[in-house]
Structure 1
Amino acid sequence: MKTKLNCPCGEYITGANEDELVEKTKAHLADKHPGHDYSRDEILFIAY
């Protein structure tokens, strides 16, 4: 299970599980990177 992700902007995002990680990543993207929307699969591809 992947629960960590490093955004290229330097933000470190963690979740208790993949669902939470995707939710937090999508919230970060909406807040800090408007217009950059990634699918669950794309987010999990760069997560570890």
Structure 2
Amino acid sequence: MKRRLSCPCGEFIVGEDEDDLVEKTQAHLAEKHPGHDYTRDQILFLAY
């Protein structure tokens, strides 16, 4: 299960599970990188 993602902006995102990681990553993208929308599969591809 992937629960961590490192954004190129330097933000490190950790989720309790994959669903939480995707939710937190999408919230980060909406707040810090408007217009950069990623699907669940794309986020999990980048996660570890």
Give aligned-pair identity as a percent: 73
Deviant stretches of 4+, over 4 Å: none
Matches for 1:1-48 after TM superposition, within 5 Å: 1-48=1-48
Q: Which runs of 5+ in 2 are unaligned?
A: none
In 1, the alpha carbon distance for the partners of 2:36 and 2:16 equals 23
Number of residue pairs the alignment of both structures matches: 48
TM-score scaled by length of structure 2: 0.99
The one-letter amino acid of 2:6's match is N
TM-score scaled by length of structure 1: 0.99
Deviation at residue 15 of structure 1 after TM alignment: 0.3
